[in-house]
Amino acid sequence: MDPRLTEVSQLFQRFKAAYVRNDFDTCTTQLSQLKVLLTGFRSLPPLFEATPNAIQELTIARDIYEHAVVLSVKTEDQDAFERDFFQLKPYYTDAGSRLPPSPQEYPILGLNLLRLLVQNRIAEFHTELELLTPTALENPCIQHAVELEQSFMEGAYNRVLSARQTVPHETYVYFMDLLAKTVRDEIAGCSEKAYDYLSINDARQMLLFSSDQELLEYVKEEHSEWEIKNGFVYFQRAKETAPCKEIPSLQLINQTLSYARELERIV
Protein backbone atom coordinates (compact mmCIF):
# COMPACT_ATOMS: atom_id res chain seq x y z
CA MET A 1 0.00 0.00 0.00
CA ASP A 2 1.10 3.52 -0.77
CA PRO A 3 2.80 4.97 2.36
CA ARG A 4 1.02 8.29 1.94
CA LEU A 5 -2.33 6.56 1.84
CA THR A 6 -1.43 4.66 5.02
CA GLU A 7 -0.48 7.90 6.71
CA VAL A 8 -3.77 9.50 5.76
CA SER A 9 -5.84 6.55 6.89
CA GLN A 10 -3.99 6.37 10.23
CA LEU A 11 -4.54 10.05 10.88
CA PHE A 12 -8.14 9.64 9.81
CA GLN A 13 -8.57 6.87 12.38
CA ARG A 14 -7.28 9.17 15.11
CA PHE A 15 -9.58 11.91 13.81
CA LYS A 16 -12.58 9.60 13.98
CA ALA A 17 -11.66 8.61 17.55
CA ALA A 18 -11.59 12.25 18.57
CA TYR A 19 -14.79 12.80 16.63
CA VAL A 20 -16.58 10.09 18.59
CA ARG A 21 -15.30 11.60 21.85
CA ASN A 22 -16.76 14.93 20.69
CA ASP A 23 -13.32 16.48 21.06
CA PHE A 24 -13.90 19.13 18.42
CA ASP A 25 -10.67 21.09 18.90
CA THR A 26 -8.50 18.08 18.16
CA CYS A 27 -10.81 17.24 15.27
CA THR A 28 -10.40 20.63 13.67
CA THR A 29 -6.61 20.61 13.83
CA GLN A 30 -6.41 17.05 12.54
CA LEU A 31 -8.85 17.87 9.78
CA SER A 32 -6.60 20.66 8.51
CA GLN A 33 -3.67 18.25 8.50
CA LEU A 34 -5.74 15.72 6.59
CA LYS A 35 -6.78 18.29 4.03
CA VAL A 36 -3.15 19.24 3.45
CA LEU A 37 -2.22 15.59 3.00
CA LEU A 38 -5.06 15.10 0.53
CA THR A 39 -3.61 17.73 -1.76
CA GLY A 40 -0.75 15.30 -2.43
CA PHE A 41 -3.01 12.82 -4.23
CA ARG A 42 -3.26 13.36 -7.94
CA SER A 43 -6.33 11.25 -8.39
CA LEU A 44 -8.56 13.70 -6.52
CA PRO A 45 -10.44 16.61 -8.03
CA PRO A 46 -9.67 18.75 -9.90
CA LEU A 47 -7.01 16.59 -11.57
CA PHE A 48 -8.85 13.25 -11.52
CA GLU A 49 -5.81 11.38 -12.77
CA ALA A 50 -6.23 7.66 -13.13
CA THR A 51 -3.63 6.50 -10.61
CA PRO A 52 -3.57 2.85 -9.50
CA ASN A 53 -4.95 3.70 -6.05
CA ALA A 54 -7.52 6.15 -7.39
CA ILE A 55 -10.59 4.37 -6.04
CA GLN A 56 -9.21 3.99 -2.52
CA GLU A 57 -7.96 7.56 -2.47
CA LEU A 58 -11.25 8.94 -3.71
CA THR A 59 -13.21 6.90 -1.20
CA ILE A 60 -11.16 7.99 1.78
CA ALA A 61 -11.16 11.62 0.64
CA ARG A 62 -14.93 11.53 0.30
CA ASP A 63 -15.21 10.02 3.75
CA ILE A 64 -13.01 12.73 5.20
CA TYR A 65 -15.01 15.53 3.63
CA GLU A 66 -18.27 13.96 4.76
CA HIS A 67 -16.99 13.99 8.29
CA ALA A 68 -15.80 17.55 7.81
CA VAL A 69 -19.30 18.65 6.80
CA VAL A 70 -20.95 17.01 9.78
CA LEU A 71 -18.24 18.37 12.06
CA SER A 72 -18.95 21.91 10.83
CA VAL A 73 -22.61 21.41 11.75
CA LYS A 74 -21.62 20.23 15.21
CA THR A 75 -19.33 23.21 15.71
CA GLU A 76 -22.13 25.38 14.27
CA ASP A 77 -19.92 26.98 11.68
CA GLN A 78 -21.96 27.76 8.57
CA ASP A 79 -19.07 29.12 6.52
CA ALA A 80 -17.02 25.99 7.12
CA PHE A 81 -20.07 23.97 6.13
CA GLU A 82 -20.33 25.74 2.82
CA ARG A 83 -16.60 25.33 2.10
CA ASP A 84 -16.51 21.66 2.99
CA PHE A 85 -19.70 20.95 1.12
CA PHE A 86 -18.35 22.44 -2.08
CA GLN A 87 -15.20 20.37 -1.71
CA LEU A 88 -17.30 17.29 -1.21
CA LYS A 89 -19.68 17.89 -4.09
CA PRO A 90 -17.41 16.77 -6.96
CA TYR A 91 -17.14 13.37 -5.28
CA TYR A 92 -20.88 12.92 -5.70
CA THR A 93 -21.30 14.50 -9.12
CA ASP A 94 -18.10 13.81 -11.05
CA ALA A 95 -16.69 10.75 -9.33
CA GLY A 96 -20.07 9.28 -8.45
CA SER A 97 -20.03 6.79 -11.30
CA ARG A 98 -16.73 5.25 -10.18
CA LEU A 99 -17.36 4.94 -6.45
CA PRO A 100 -19.89 2.88 -4.55
CA PRO A 101 -22.67 5.20 -3.32
CA SER A 102 -22.13 6.70 0.09
CA PRO A 103 -24.84 6.22 2.74
CA GLN A 104 -24.13 9.77 3.86
CA GLU A 105 -24.88 11.32 0.47
CA TYR A 106 -28.57 12.11 0.84
CA PRO A 107 -28.45 13.29 4.45
CA ILE A 108 -25.67 15.69 3.52
CA LEU A 109 -27.42 16.94 0.40
CA GLY A 110 -30.54 17.46 2.51
CA LEU A 111 -28.52 19.34 5.09
CA ASN A 112 -27.20 21.64 2.42
CA LEU A 113 -30.72 22.33 1.17
CA LEU A 114 -31.73 23.15 4.71
CA ARG A 115 -28.78 25.50 5.10
CA LEU A 116 -29.76 27.38 1.94
CA LEU A 117 -33.28 27.64 3.28
CA VAL A 118 -32.09 28.99 6.62
CA GLN A 119 -29.88 31.53 4.90
CA ASN A 120 -32.85 32.45 2.70
CA ARG A 121 -30.94 31.67 -0.51
CA ILE A 122 -34.00 30.35 -2.29
CA ALA A 123 -32.61 30.70 -5.82
CA GLU A 124 -29.64 28.51 -4.96
CA PHE A 125 -31.96 26.14 -3.17
CA HIS A 126 -33.86 25.55 -6.38
CA THR A 127 -30.69 25.31 -8.45
CA GLU A 128 -29.46 22.53 -6.18
CA LEU A 129 -32.85 20.88 -6.33
CA GLU A 130 -32.68 20.65 -10.12
CA LEU A 131 -29.53 18.55 -9.85
CA LEU A 132 -31.22 15.80 -7.90
CA THR A 133 -32.51 12.67 -9.55
CA PRO A 134 -36.10 11.46 -9.00
CA THR A 135 -34.80 8.73 -6.67
CA ALA A 136 -32.95 11.31 -4.61
CA LEU A 137 -36.11 13.38 -4.35
CA GLU A 138 -37.91 10.44 -2.80
CA ASN A 139 -35.33 10.08 -0.05
CA PRO A 140 -36.80 11.19 3.30
CA CYS A 141 -33.86 13.49 4.04
CA ILE A 142 -34.32 15.41 0.80
CA GLN A 143 -38.09 15.32 0.96
CA HIS A 144 -37.97 16.87 4.40
CA ALA A 145 -36.15 19.92 3.09
CA VAL A 146 -38.37 20.17 0.00
CA GLU A 147 -41.55 20.08 2.06
CA LEU A 148 -40.18 22.66 4.43
CA GLU A 149 -39.55 25.02 1.58
CA GLN A 150 -43.09 24.55 0.30
CA SER A 151 -44.69 25.18 3.66
CA PHE A 152 -42.44 28.17 4.07
CA MET A 153 -43.50 29.66 0.75
CA GLU A 154 -47.18 29.03 1.41
CA GLY A 155 -46.98 30.56 4.85
CA ALA A 156 -47.96 27.42 6.76
CA TYR A 157 -45.45 28.19 9.46
CA ASN A 158 -46.76 25.83 12.08
CA ARG A 159 -46.05 23.00 9.66
CA VAL A 160 -42.46 24.21 9.46
CA LEU A 161 -42.19 24.16 13.23
CA SER A 162 -43.80 20.81 13.70
CA ALA A 163 -41.31 19.39 11.20
CA ARG A 164 -38.66 19.83 13.86
CA GLN A 165 -40.05 16.81 15.67
CA THR A 166 -39.71 14.63 12.60
CA VAL A 167 -36.14 15.39 11.58
CA PRO A 168 -34.70 12.47 9.61
CA HIS A 169 -31.16 12.89 10.96
CA GLU A 170 -29.82 14.20 14.26
CA THR A 171 -27.57 16.77 12.56
CA TYR A 172 -30.66 18.51 11.18
CA VAL A 173 -31.63 19.87 14.58
CA TYR A 174 -29.11 22.69 14.48
CA PHE A 175 -30.50 24.12 11.27
CA MET A 176 -34.08 23.53 12.35
CA ASP A 177 -33.43 25.70 15.40
CA LEU A 178 -32.05 28.42 13.18
CA LEU A 179 -35.06 28.04 10.96
CA ALA A 180 -37.35 28.57 13.93
CA LYS A 181 -35.84 32.02 14.40
CA THR A 182 -36.36 32.89 10.77
CA VAL A 183 -39.94 31.68 11.03
CA ARG A 184 -40.58 33.86 14.06
CA ASP A 185 -39.45 36.95 12.18
CA GLU A 186 -41.66 35.98 9.26
CA ILE A 187 -44.67 35.50 11.49
CA ALA A 188 -44.05 38.83 13.16
CA GLY A 189 -43.88 40.50 9.76
CA CYS A 190 -47.12 38.88 8.62
CA SER A 191 -49.03 39.59 11.82
CA GLU A 192 -48.12 43.21 11.61
CA LYS A 193 -49.92 43.48 8.32
CA ALA A 194 -52.75 41.03 8.88
CA TYR A 195 -54.05 42.02 12.31
CA ASP A 196 -55.09 45.26 13.84
CA TYR A 197 -54.34 43.96 17.29
CA LEU A 198 -53.77 40.70 19.14
CA SER A 199 -54.14 39.82 22.79
CA ILE A 200 -50.80 39.31 24.46
CA ASN A 201 -51.70 35.72 25.08
CA ASP A 202 -52.37 35.02 21.39
CA ALA A 203 -49.32 36.91 20.29
CA ARG A 204 -47.15 34.91 22.65
CA GLN A 205 -48.47 31.65 21.28
CA MET A 206 -48.19 32.74 17.71
CA LEU A 207 -44.63 33.96 18.08
CA LEU A 208 -43.67 30.82 19.99
CA PHE A 209 -42.56 32.40 23.23
CA SER A 210 -42.89 30.54 26.48
CA SER A 211 -43.44 33.60 28.66
CA ASP A 212 -44.90 37.08 28.31
CA GLN A 213 -41.57 38.47 29.44
CA GLU A 214 -39.77 37.07 26.41
CA LEU A 215 -42.43 38.49 24.12
CA LEU A 216 -42.10 41.94 25.63
CA GLU A 217 -38.35 41.85 25.20
CA TYR A 218 -38.67 40.71 21.59
CA VAL A 219 -41.11 43.51 20.83
CA LYS A 220 -38.81 46.02 22.44
CA GLU A 221 -35.79 44.90 20.45
CA GLU A 222 -37.19 44.07 17.06
CA HIS A 223 -40.46 45.96 16.72
CA SER A 224 -40.38 49.04 18.86
CA GLU A 225 -43.22 50.53 16.82
CA TRP A 226 -45.72 48.04 18.24
CA GLU A 227 -47.77 49.36 21.09
CA ILE A 228 -48.72 47.29 24.13
CA LYS A 229 -51.61 48.41 26.29
CA ASN A 230 -54.53 46.86 28.20
CA GLY A 231 -53.27 43.34 27.50
CA PHE A 232 -53.27 43.84 23.74
CA VAL A 233 -50.56 44.32 21.18
CA TYR A 234 -51.49 47.05 18.70
CA PHE A 235 -49.65 47.01 15.41
CA GLN A 236 -49.00 50.37 13.85
CA ARG A 237 -50.28 49.73 10.39
CA ALA A 238 -48.57 51.32 7.48
CA LYS A 239 -50.57 54.00 5.76
CA GLU A 240 -52.73 52.66 2.95
CA THR A 241 -52.45 54.06 -0.51
CA ALA A 242 -54.53 57.14 0.06
CA PRO A 243 -56.64 58.55 -2.76
CA CYS A 244 -54.52 60.84 -4.80
CA LYS A 245 -55.30 64.36 -3.76
CA GLU A 246 -52.57 66.16 -5.55
CA ILE A 247 -51.63 65.73 -9.15
CA PRO A 248 -47.94 64.76 -9.38
CA SER A 249 -47.39 67.57 -11.84
CA LEU A 250 -43.63 67.42 -12.22
CA GLN A 251 -43.66 63.74 -13.04
CA LEU A 252 -46.50 64.20 -15.52
CA ILE A 253 -44.72 67.03 -17.27
CA ASN A 254 -41.61 64.90 -17.62
CA GLN A 255 -43.57 62.01 -19.03
CA THR A 256 -45.51 64.13 -21.48
CA LEU A 257 -42.34 65.81 -22.69
CA SER A 258 -40.70 62.45 -23.29
CA TYR A 259 -43.74 61.29 -25.29
CA ALA A 260 -43.49 64.41 -27.39
CA ARG A 261 -39.81 63.80 -28.01
CA GLU A 262 -40.36 60.20 -29.02
CA LEU A 263 -43.29 61.09 -31.28
CA GLU A 264 -41.19 63.70 -32.99
CA ARG A 265 -38.65 61.01 -33.79
CA ILE A 266 -41.29 58.84 -35.37
CA VAL A 267 -43.01 61.45 -37.51
Partner 1 sequence: MTQDIEMKEQPAPSNSVSSASPSTLHHLKEIAGLIETGVYVREVRRIVRAVRLTMALRRKLKAPVLSAFLNFALTPGSDPLQRLSSYLPSEGEHDMEVDTATSATQAHAKSPLQELEVYCYLLVLIFLIDQKKYNEAKACSSASIARLKNLNRRTVDVLASRLYFYYSLSYELTGDLAEIRGNLLALHRVATLRHDELGQETLLNLLLRNYLHYNLYDQAEKLRSKAPRFEAHSNQQFCRYLFYLGKIRTIQLEYTDAKESLLQAARKAPVAALGFRVQCNKWAIIVRLLLGEIPERTFVMQKGMEKALRPYFELTNAVRIGDLELFKSVAEKFSSTFNSDGIHSLIVRLRHNVIRTGLRNISISYSRISLADVAKKLRLDSVNPIADAESIVAKAIRDGAIDAIVDHANGWMVSKETGDIYSTNEPQMAFNSRIAFCLNMHNEAVRALRFPPNSHKEKESDDKRRERQQQEQEIAKHIAEEDDDEF
What residues line the site for partner 1 (CB under 8 A)? 122-124, 126-127, 129-131, 134, 146, 150, 153-159, 162, 186-187, 189-196, 198-199, 202, 241, 243-244, 248, 252, 255, 259, 262, 265-266
CB of 198 to partner 1, least distance (A): 6
CB of 66 to partner 1, least distance (A): 21
CB of 14 to partner 1, least distance (A): 36
Q: Residue 194 contacts by C-beta under 8 Å, 6 or more apart in sequence?
A: none
- Please give the Cα distance from 81 to 85 (Å, whole number): 6
CB of 50 to partner 1, least distance (A): 16
CB of 151 to partner 1, least distance (A): 9
176 in Cβ contact with 164 (< 8 Å)? yes
Minimum CB distance to partner 1 smaller for 127 or for 236 = 127
Minimum CB distance to partner 1 smaller for 63 or for 202 = 202
Half-sphere exposure of 146 (CA within 13 A, CB side): 18
Q: Where are the alpha helices (DSSP H) in the chain?
A: 3-20, 24-38, 54-74, 78-93, 105-118, 122-130, 134-138, 140-154, 157-162, 172-194, 200-206, 212-222, 249-266
Minimum CB distance to partner 1 smaller for 77 or for 124 = 124
Question: Smallest Cα–Cα separation from 63: which of 43, 79, 84?
Answer: 84
Minimum CB distance to partner 1 smaller for 193 or for 229 = 193
**Measured in Å, how far apart are the chain's first and last C-alpha atoms?**
84
Minimum CB distance to partner 1 smaller for 58 or for 207 = 207
